[in-house]
Amino acid sequence: MGAPLPAPAASRLFLSGNDAVARAVWEAGCKVAAAYPGTPSTEILEELAHYPDLYTEWSVNEKVSLEVALGASMMGARAFCAMKHVGLNVASDALMTMTVTGTEGGLVIAVADDVGMSSSQNEQDSRYWGRFAHLPVLEPADAQEAYAMTKAAFELSERHRCPVIVRMTTRICHVKGRVEVGERMAVEPTGFTKDPRRWVMVPGNAKPRLPLMFEREAALAVEAEVSALNPLADGSDLTVGFVASGPAFMHVREAFPDAPVLKLGLSCPLPLHRIRALAARVRHLVVVEETEPLVETELKAAGVACHGKDILPRLGELAPDVLRPAIARLLGGEPAVVAHVPQQQVFPRPPTMCVACPHLGVYYTLAQMRNVIISGDIGCYTLGAGHPWNALDTCISMGASMGMALGMDKGRGAADAGKKVVAVIGDSTFLHMGMQGLLDITYNRGNVTILLLDNRTVGMTGGQDNPGTGRDIHGEEAPRVDFAKLCEALGVKRERIRPVDPYQLPVLFKALREETRIDEPSVIITDRPCVLIDDYRPTQPYQVVEERCTGCGNCVDVGCPAIHVTRRATEVKASGKEVELSFVRIETAACTGCGLCVQPCAPEAIVHAEALRPAHVMHKH
């Protein structure tokens, strides 16, 4: 992807919300930007890395990215970091202290909530972090506002000397629109001022700063009442008035164009006086918010009568087809019934791994093992929980596979005494939050076998680099972590660290069988690149010789999407047992020649496609 050219002032670009945030960060004179990839926020830093005149990095996790940004802010530079909603959980330790220290250069945190859980393990409302940390929260409703509010966030941060959260959602992040953009402004860092009473957060220094945090919050509350970020879209129909923010505001305007709507662009702290004024004008006040009843609860606590989650769902997007029937029931005088998001009928397409994915062999092998508990993690390899492998027993959060595996080992009773515990984790996830778990396993003498799946990229979010790839965010050469040496440094014995080619199924199976029999920590490191990155080298594709295929279905169990079942049949064995047969073909246009399907094929019915070509055709090539 080529670098975007800085556009002249007041030009118009077609940008997604993520692109718009990146553009605004650059124009605001930001000097340092850091992030860890996570859908739907990933593209912000990817796009920002193409712009000149600022430093960008993929950090090893979200906490580090926020600490990098704070360090730059302490130097008086404008700084930025981005993450998805669960990433802010990781970064919260740093967040909850920097709200006490405050900031110098403007510090903006873009957090992308995955409303509807299109690619996340939970649906989380990051607006709560604004309340918890006593920080302002801005909520754009489209790409233009994402751009404008990000620039405003830097100014707000410097005005109140605190971090500012820009809460995005999937719909804002990925939907494109026309955006009026400008030029980059020059903002010189003001320099670091030594002040241990502010920057060294021991209790004696932190306590005197707490009143300053509350004073700041009070000043923000006054600003929220008059801020242009909280406009009232007036309307002639005063039957129902709405309070909304983000994409929910757009849905309300579409569904009820004649109703007055107070749009919360600066949603924390709330402009209570403006909301009371709107409530006094309308018959019913309805709070439309995705996903938690946060504003509704605050309004009711302040004595403002309103409806919210008593008529609207607490999950998913609040589209017009959800809003209209809910308001109709409210006005019809019927008992409030919580609306349910209608299920859209689409062709079923269960998620699966790519053709020739190096994780296929791992899960095929794990599926053959018996008496084993498999602790999983977050990444492409989470798909091992699905068909046909069904080879994952747990998956909670990034890095959790390690600590959970140790807990399973230490917590087992007589019913599980003979079972083996295997933890599966990817390279980027291991560096993100798994290293500490491995150290805990070795320190506490856990009996766990770790499968460290090194595919040389952050695969699930689109192939970003990390310290294990040997490249930085710009694709330039960088130091590459030696996973074997790292695991040894974390306490695993050298002889218990085994690099394995995941395409060699017998070798992989042998390694797993041997290491799970050892009563101490061991690590098996797979070493094939993701098939979607430049490091991967496809080879000659395979094809099925139909007359040799016996329908055993062993190749189907590998789970490669290039293998298609063409016909199913049943056969009764001499023992009287009925066996299902699956006759297959291989989509040679998709096959990359990894050879995984060849190894379990008993009748040797899978051969290189070249071997089946007529001699005169082969001669021409």
| Known binding-site positions for [4Fe-4S] cluster | 549, 552, 555, 560, 591, 594, 597, 601
Q: How far apart, in Å, are the Cα atoms of 219 and each of 137, 158, 214, 270?
A: 14, 14, 9, 12
Alpha helices, H only, 430-504: 435-443, 483-489
Number of residues that make up the chain: 621
Please check whether residue 81 is in contact with residue 35, taking contact to mean a CB–CB distance below 8 angstroms: yes
End-to-end CA distance of the chain: 33
- How far apart (Å, rounded) are the C-alpha atoms in residues 322 and 227? 30
Please check whether residue 31 is in contact with residue 79, taking contact to mean a CB–CB distance below 8 angstroms: yes
Binding positions are: 549, 552, 555, 560, 591, 594, 597, 601
Measured from the Cβ of residue 418, the count of other Cβ atoms closer than 10 Å reads 8
- How far apart (Å, rounded) are the C-alpha atoms in residues 407 and 412? 8
> Mutual orientation of helices 435-443 and 400-411 as an angle, nearest 10°?
20
Measured from the Cβ of residue 506, the count of other Cβ atoms closer than 10 Å reads 9
Please check whether residue 359 is in contact with residue 378, taking contact to mean a CB–CB distance below 8 angstroms: no
Task: Give the 3-state secondary structure of residue 361.
Answer: helix
The distance of Cα 140 from the centroid of its chain, to the nearest Å, equals 20
Name the helix (H) or strand (E) containing 372.
strand 372-375
Measured from the Cβ of residue 222, the count of other Cβ atoms closer than 10 Å reads 12
Alpha helices, H only, 283-342: 294-301, 320-331
Please check whether residue 586 is in contact with residue 562, taking contact to mean a CB–CB distance below 8 angstroms: yes
